[in-house]
Structure 1
């Protein structure tokens, strides 16, 4: 039979209330009292009923994580880290895939099927700032990505700077005709990521710093950026339009890996003929041959910050909304630097 809180109190020689205070992190307890209770908990293998505790507090202990895609390796890896961080706060994560759809994003921020959840971490592609500011439901909310709202906590990398760093790396190794593969920049439509436009801006800014004019012929957008066949078609289009290119900047690693495969299939040597760089540092980036040079967002830091922000809100912390820019740094690998086999 499982131990009860009454059993813990009896073994520790304290009241049930004192055991409850220790388990709930009440600060005004002596170290000796805490130690006695903790020793009793360990000896009896006592496991608190977190669900019951949360219900007494008017909480469920459940949060929602809503992402545009779970087929994206980046989002899948980020979700795993968020789940790990949530566990540290005794929170369970429900994961929803919105596909960037407006109505599905609304459903999430309006309380996710009633009062099932205590808070939401959301990467939104379609909801407007106006809607998020005036949303009727005040469920604690943290936004991921670069569509911040003044009234909501937000954590994201700086995609413009990330792209500029990636392209500057290509320029520093002597590349000058640098193509771009990925979603087009310009005016963003609902359901499309904001990051694409910012990454195009970072690309152009890096070229400008080296006195290289922007050439629209070097920018190609696959119809299905996550479809290897579509990326291969775009690589062929880019090579036909600009046969003298010596590098390709891809807006994410998934496109970059497909581009490398397409180039090698066509007999193009990577990086000797064309260097390739991406953004995201997904696990496959270091496993492919050649391994992929990429910009690595601090996914663990993004997850930690997002969960901590949400936990503060759930706990009733009253403070202005915060915007945190997560670290992202270059990891140079074989797709730009080569290896002993290609040099």
Structure 2
């Protein structure tokens, strides 16, 4: 007999187990999405009971029993970045059904702030951390030895034993450069590029750019690789500097959408038409790219898969501290819009 609404309010996991004729542990495995531990038939039976009774997990009570706060930190270098804002929204949406709230924290891209985020006193108020590491090295991370579950995002190498979600930087940069070459460009400026140095986002994306040029036998002109930041103002400054120096270019690859959008502003101010005079590509496929004039072609790093991967690794680490570490980097794809057509 199906419990009436008044009865459902006090329904426990033991009640669901009794109605489904399974153990409490089996019900726990189903509600915590540990599908590998439960047969498909049993899972369907438990889910049917849950659906018919309206059973809901008492998240605060479970967190109290587990000694958890229900808080996950996302530590990023820049709050003004559209990419990190959109990433935070995706993560919050995915974490909410599991009873976690997302808290964002600013590291300013400095080593001191990244290490402070990983310090024990700070982590005591949270269950886990997602860190966009831009300044720290693998050695810094290993020395920090954070006591709480950690997922590292970004392009810095991480030591063994740490979960890592990265982007397909070299592959995505090749796609961006190929798109511009296919559109007829030959002198492609890279905003935020870096020709050498430790493994990082600028170095890896510049490597992809170089690989694409080499594959088409297009010579590399180092004057087209403009080092510096990848924000709106950085993109604008880079284009103004190229024009002032008399460097000829017929395309721009911004290593972020923000850099590309800043470049588009400077191009418009200089009377250069997009895409007729200069073609432009960005990276991140943020919502802002669709509202640019003209709409901005951009590398899509598979933002949804990245968010899925972060949450999957985080929940697995919270459930099993001894699970093997994993690194994942979804393949990128190119989104073509009017800025390259």
Fold in common (TM above 0.5): yes
Contact 1:8 1:19 in 2 (8 A): no
Structure 1 residue 4 displacement after superposition:
8.4
Contact 1:217 1:241 in 2 (8 A): no
Q: How does 1:175-186 map to 2 (within 5 A)?
A: 175-186=185-196
- Cα gap change, 1:180 to 1:23, in 2 (>3 Å): same
- Cα gap change, 1:13 to 1:177, in 2 (>3 Å): closer
With a CA cutoff of 8 Å and minimum separation of 6, indicate the structure with the bigger relative contact order: 1
Q: 2:10 aligns with which of 7, 10, 22?
A: 7
- SS of residue in 2 equivalent to 1:113: helix
Q: 2:210 aligns with which of 201, 204, 212?
A: 204
- Cα gap change, 1:137 to 1:261, in 2 (>3 Å): closer
Structure 1 residue 309 displacement after superposition:
0.5
Asked if residue 108 in structure 1 is aligned to residue 113 in structure 2, the reply is: no
**1:218 matched residue in structure 2:** 224
Asked if residue 304 in structure 1 is aligned to residue 304 in structure 2, the reply is: no
Structure 1 residue 14 displacement after superposition:
5.7
Distance 2:337 2:235 in 1: 21
Distance 2:212 2:317 in 1: 39
Distance 2:15 2:51 in 1: 11
Asked if residue 153 in structure 1 is aligned to residue 168 in structure 2, the reply is: no
Distance 1:195 1:326 in 2: 15
Distance 2:289 2:46 in 1: 51
Q: Structure 1 length as normaliser, TM-score?
A: 0.84
Q: Gaps spanning 5+ residues in structure 2: where? A: 31-37
Give the number of aligned pairs: 325
Q: 2:28 aligns with which of 6, 24, 27?
A: 24
- Cα gap change, 1:30 to 1:277, in 2 (>3 Å): closer
**1:284 matched residue in structure 2:** 288
Distance 1:97 1:4 in 2: 46
Distance 1:285 1:258 in 2: 11
Hey, which of these two has a bigger chunk of helix by percent?
A: 2
Contact 1:5 1:19 in 2 (8 A): no
Distance 1:84 1:119 in 2: 16
Contact 1:22 1:34 in 2 (8 A): no
Q: How does 1:1-343 map to 2 (within 5 A)?
A: 7-8=10-11, 24-25=28-29, 35-36=48-49, 38-40=51-53, 42=54, 48-111=57-120, 113-149=122-158, 150-187=160-197, 194-221=200-227, 225-228=230-233, 230-242=234-246, 244-316=248-320, 318-337=322-341
- SS of residue in 2 equivalent to 1:139: coil
- SS of residue in 1 equivalent to 2:10: helix
- Cα gap change, 1:284 to 1:11, in 2 (>3 Å): same
